[in-house]
Amino acid sequence: MDRLKLLDQYNSAADIWDEMYDKQQIRDHYSKVFTSLEQFDVSALQQKDRLAGELFMNQGITFTVYSDDAGIERIFPFDIIPRIITGKEWEHIELGIKQRLKALNMFLKDIYNDQQILKDKVVPASLVASCPHYTRDVFGIKVPHDIYVHISGIDLIRGEDGLFYVLEDNLRTPSGVSYMLENREVTKRIFPELLAANHVRRVSNYPLLLHEILLQMAPTQLSNPTVVLLTPGIYNSAYYEHTFLARQMGITLVEGRDLVVDHHKVYMKTTDGLEQVHVIYRRIDDEFLDPLLFRPDSALGVPGLMNAYRKGNVAIINAMGNGVADDKAVYAYVPAMIKYYLNEEPILPNVPTYELHDASVRKYVFDNIEKMVIKQTNQSGGYGMIMGNKVSAEDWEKAKVAIEADPRSFIAQPIIKLSTVPCFIDGTFQARHVDLRPYALCGPQGVQIVPGGLTRVALRKDSLIVNSSQGGGSKDTWVID
Amino acid sequence: MLSRIADSLFWLARYMERAEGLLRVTSTHYILSLDKDVNGPLTWKPVLETFTSCTDAEMDAIAHNTGDALKKLLTDNTNHNSLKVIITKARENARGIQDYITKEVWEEVNSFYHLIHQPSLDKRLSNYEAADILDLFTRHSVLYTGITDITMARGIGWGFMNLGKYIERCLETIVLTNKQYQRINYRMDEIKDIMLWRHLLMSLSGYELHLKTYRSSLYNHDVLHQVSFNEDFPHSVVYSLGRIDRHLQDVTRKNSSEDMAALMRCFGRLFSKVKNTDLDVLNNDNLQQYLEDLRNDLLYFTTLLSQKFFSYA
């Protein structure tokens, strides 16, 4: 029997928070899983790993890599060892996210209506005015129940001190929720005994909660409003998720070409003629939604959609113009928004963020660059990032010129060593860095968050970048009591 | 139902039916190719003519090489009608309507797709493993049919799927029949060996039914009767048209426009032509014309159908 001693090759570093091992012993909430994992031999775990891969492949949970003329289907890497969070930690996260979303929704309403927060100089007006995602076209539009952010995927990280920090808010079209749900289904197949023994809280009701919120957003009182999910189509990397959610909610999955606007109302083209659409859960970015207003070359959207939205004949979820609150420089003001709108202290802290328009701050950042990460304010997905401890001297010189030329488009944050968890890699257990993306839903009854989320893991050794576009994978995430 | 979804359901069903047909013809031909044919060494030419757009030179080069012919028919990316291309297209259609079809149907189409994209297939096809592979594919094909039947909801979408399926099946029967009669120059009056008809009948899964049903030795007549007019034979023209008739009524029930009435009339003309033709009338001189007219009428009806229901882009 080739049994693994879990800790034999486990390489969690001294200055990093490890979710399982506190440098002396296994943390309590991991103990059951730890003991069970030690019972398996390597080949049994490899067998489970293979089975998980096949399950993803056969369900078509894949993306296509094009090389030569043949498309090759790949699955998003999945690590079989679950990441575990205690019920107590979860309560804290939940409270923090609820507070944050409440403030962010109020901010978006304010910024597209009275702009009180700018007048009171809590957030500099120049910051908002210079944000490319501030959408003047939606100024003054009333949205149902004053909700702008219905669906968010707030990225949390855990620092060396064991505290959770908010890294990004993702208030536009966050993806990955299908992986949260599918990861759990796959775990049910490969570790049924572990799941049963640990009393893991349920996540599977997410689509039902979402569906309920979508129905409540219908602009007029209808007993049976038509809700659709608008996808860019089968070539989009998140297409699987769009079909998954549409199927789970029983709503129609439409593409831009299926919709048409007539007299400021949105219709879909059916075999029985046109049928009015009341709610659109869109998975297309703002700038592609209406070619008449934004990008005229885009065929993904629906001409005239914006007019129907402005007239209140259709609800768009998430609301248009949310990008302004996703801007990485605006992000720095979220704690101030919480204080301003709610008169509360933030429960979940931000990662310290340096705005670079101030020359003295810029100098401080440049002097300490080996401890900093520079990010472009309007980028996501791990693009446009400069890790100060890895960047070459030449690239850094170029970056400095770019920052000096347009400091508004960059921010700096101290490099935070994300916490690590055990992963099953090449037949051994190894520590890898992770973040956590819980999915929060905001409806007329308040914010609901299914207990769990997507744990993204940087599968490359020592890498801190968890994005799937940059070699990241994911894990099932358990909240246990 | 969205026109785009109706369109994709229609084509998913057509491609899967086409795959099934291609597999049955190829399997039959492969098995028979292991015996010496009544007319000398067996050639893949008729199959290649039916299912590929090869030039004569290309065809001559591979017509006597079973491994190459199988590759051309099953796994060649440059052949627009190879099994691999057909299944890829079926999957593209299924992918765009994943929210409409059941998870089970999607997973079956998807696993079929991954199966046929295995890189080792070509080698195995040349290595006398062809029968195993053809069996495996055929099993997936019937599995798809069964899964579709027991999991898909009945309703308008089901109607479009069946329209696609039976239009494809009907076309296939007409084309294969035409091909076979062409080989004997449409000579209805000559008595021929049943062995000659075995290929067609087995390709349409109708050999056993033929032996049980027809007692005379007028094979040329009997086979034509079976593939055209036998209402109990699920691959016959009249059976397929009967199904199309039924599903056409399902999808047009809610829609009473003049367009729909015109579509129904177009199909009615075609259907009654088959129902009201006497077998005895068909002879050496008019059989080819009859089969070709039938095919053209069906294609015209299909064009009309897609204009009425699938215009969205």
CA distance B70 to chain A (A): 21
Highest average pLDDT, of A64-73, A465-474, B75-84, comes from: B75-84
Let me know: does B48 contact B141? Beta carbons within 8 Å. Answer: no
Residue A337: CB atoms within 10 Å: 22
Tell me the average pLDDT across A20-30.
Answer: 88
Q: What is the pLDDT of residue A246?
A: 93
Listed in sequence order, the residues at least 6 apart from A187 whose beta carbon sits closer than 8 Å to its beta carbon are: A80, A82, A194, A195, A476
Determine if the peptide bond prior to A11 is cis (ω within 30°).
Answer: no
The answer to which of A309-323, B90-104, B120-134, B231-245 has the lowest mean pLDDT is B120-134
Residue A384 predicted with pLDDT over 90: no
Query: Which pLDDT band holds residue A432 (cuts at 50, 70, 90)?
Result: very high
Q: Which three-class secondary structure state does DSSP give residue A376?
A: strand
Is residue A255 within 8 angstroms of chain B, CB to CB? yes
Res. A36: pLDDT tops 80:
yes
| A257–B312 C-beta distance less than 8 A | yes
Q: Which amino acid is at A189?
A: R
Query: Using CA of residue A172, residue A173, residue A179, residue A181, what is the dihedral sign?
Result: positive
> Across all residues in chain B, what is the average pLDDT?
90
Confidence of residue A317 (pLDDT cuts 50, 70, 90): very high
Q: pLDDT over 90 for what percent of chain A? A: 65
- The whole-number pLDDT of residue B126 equals 80
Q: Tokens 């705005």 correspond to what residue?
A: A355
Closest listed residue to residue B224, CA positions, set B187, B273, B177:
B177
User: For residues A144, A146, A148 and A149, what is the CA-based torsion angle, rounded to 10 degrees?
Assistant: -100
Q: How far is B29 from chain A (nearest CA, A)?
A: 30
Domain residue spans of chain A: 85-181+202-345+435-480, 354-414
Nearest to A258 among B103, B106, B312 (CB): B312
Which residues are CB-contacts of A364 (< 8 A; sequence separation ≥ 6)?
A354
Chain B, window 61-80: residues with a beta carbon less than 8 angstroms from a chain A beta carbon = 77
Mean pLDDT over A141-148 rounds to: 93
Burial A46-57 (b: 16+ CB within 10 A, else e): eebbeebeebbb
DSSP secondary structure letters along B194-251? HHHHHHHHHHTT-HHHHHHH--SS-HHHHHHHHHHH-TT-TTSHHHHHHHHHHHHHHH
Amino acid at A281: Y
Average pLDDT over residues B271-289: 89
Among residues B15, B65, B22, the alpha carbon closest in space to that of B47 is found at: B22
Does B258 touch chain A if contact means CB atoms closer than 8 Å? no
What number is the average pLDDT over the span A288-304?
88
pLDDT reading at B4 higher than 90: yes
Q: Of the candidates A70, A233, A247, which has its C-beta nearest B99's C-beta?
A: A247
Partner A contacted by B143 (CB < 8 A): no
Radius of gyration of chain A (CA): 23
Task: Determine which of B88, B98, B118, B309 to mutate to test the interface with A (most A C-beta atoms within 10 Å).
Answer: B98
Asked if the A354-414 domain carries CATH number 3.30.1490.270, the reply is: yes
DSSP state string for A2-45: -B--TTTT----TTS-BSSB-SSSB-GGGHHHHHHHHHSBHHHH
Q: Which residues of A63-75 are buried (b: 16+ CB within 10 A; e: fewer)?
A: beeeeeeeeeeeb
Tokens at residue A325, please?
């609150």
> Can you tell me the mean pLDDT for B207-229?
88
Q: What is the DSSP string of A62-114?
A: EEEEEETTEEEEEEPPEEEEEEEEEHHHHHHHHHHHHHHHHHHHHHHHHHTTT
Mean pLDDT along residues B241-264: 89
Cα-flanking dihedrals φ and ψ of residue A269, to 5°?
-90, 110
For residue B51, the tally of other CB atoms under 10 A from its CB is: 22
**Residue of A237 and B136 predicted with greater confidence:** B136
Q: How many whole angstroms separate alpha carbon A186 and alpha carbon A204?
A: 13
The residue of chain A nearest to residue B313, with distances taken between CA atoms, is A257
What average pLDDT does this structure show over A91-111?
Answer: 96
Residue A1: which pLDDT band, with cuts at 50, 70 and 90?
Answer: very low
Nearest CA in chain A to B92: A234
Is residue A376 within 8 A of residue A358, CB to CB? The reply is no
Nearest CA in chain A to B104: A59
pLDDT at A331: 94
Q: Which residues pair with A478 in a beta bridge?
A: A84
Hey, what are B257's tokens? 């426009």
Instruction: With CB atoms and an 8 Å threshold, state whether A270 touches B98.
Output: no
pLDDT of residue A5 exceeding 80 = no
The C-alpha atoms of residue A138 and residue B267 are separated, in whole angstroms, by: 51
Task: Encode pLDDT of A118-130 as tens digits.
Answer: 999 999 999 999 9
Which chain A residues touch B103 with a CB distance below 8 Å? 59, 247
> With an 8 Å Cβ cutoff, is A257 touching chain B?
yes
Residue with tokens 């207990």: A451
Q: How far apart are CA A320 and CA A148, in angstroms?
A: 8
Percentage of residues of chain B with pLDDT beyond 70: 97
Q: Which residues of B touch A73 (CB under 8 A)?
A: 114, 117
Higher-confidence residue of A65 and A93: namely: A93
* Secondary structure (DSSP) of B83-118: HHHHHHHHHHHHHHTTTTS-HHHHHHHHHHHHHHT-
**Cβ(B131)–Cβ(A279) below 8 Å:** no
Would you call A272 and B312 a contact, using CB atoms and an 8 Å cutoff? no
Cβ-defined contact of B254 to A272 (cutoff 8 Å): yes
3-state helix, strand and coil shares in percent for chain B, rounded to the nearest 5: 70, 0, 25
Q: In chain A, which residues have their Cβ closer than 8 Å to the Cβ of B143?
A: none
To the nearest whole Å, the CA of A54 is away from the closest chain B CA by 10
Q: Average pLDDT in the A270-295 region?
A: 91
B261, B267, B268, B269: CA torsion to nearest 10: 120
Asked if A111 and A152 count as a contact pair (C-beta separation under 8 A), the reply is no
Distance CA A328, CA A377 (A): 4
CA separation for the pair A383, B213 (Å, rounded) = 70
> Residue A11: what are its φ and ψ, rounded to 5°?
-110, 40
Of the pLDDT bands very low, low, confident and very high (cuts 50, 70, 90), residue B190 is confident
* Residue owning tokens 């129940």: A145
3-state secondary structure A293-343: CCCCCCCCCCCCHHHHHHCCCCEEECCCCCHHHHCHHHHCCHHHHHHHHHC
Instruction: Round the average pLDDT of chain A to a whole number and report it.
Output: 90
Question: In this model, does residue A244 exceed pLDDT 70?
Answer: yes
Residues of B in contact with A244 (CB under 8 A): 98
DSSP A352: P
Q: Give contacts of B6 with chain A, Cβ < 8 Å.
A: 271
- Whether residue B2 and residue A268 make contact (CB cut-off 8 A), yes or no, is yes
* Residue of chain A nearest B99, judged by CA positions: A247
Degrees to nearest 5, angle at CA B200 with B194 and B203 = 130
Nearest CA in chain A to B112: A58
Residues in B touching A67 (Cβ below 8 Å):
none
What is the length of chain B? Answer: 313
Q: What's the length of chain A?
A: 481
Give B129→chain A minimum CA distance, Å.
Answer: 24
Whether pLDDT at B285 is above 90: no
Give A57's pLDDT tier (boundaries 50, 70, 90).
confident
What are B63-66's contacts with CB under 8 Å, separation 24+? B66/B30, B66/B33, B66/B130
Identity of the highest mean pLDDT range in A95-104, A267-276, B37-46, B114-123: A95-104
Under DSSP, is residue A156 helix (H, G, I), strand (E, B) or coil? strand
Average pLDDT of the segment spanning B45-68: 89
- More confident site: B38 or B228: B228
CA distance A317 to chain B (A): 19
Q: What is the pLDDT of residue A3?
A: 52
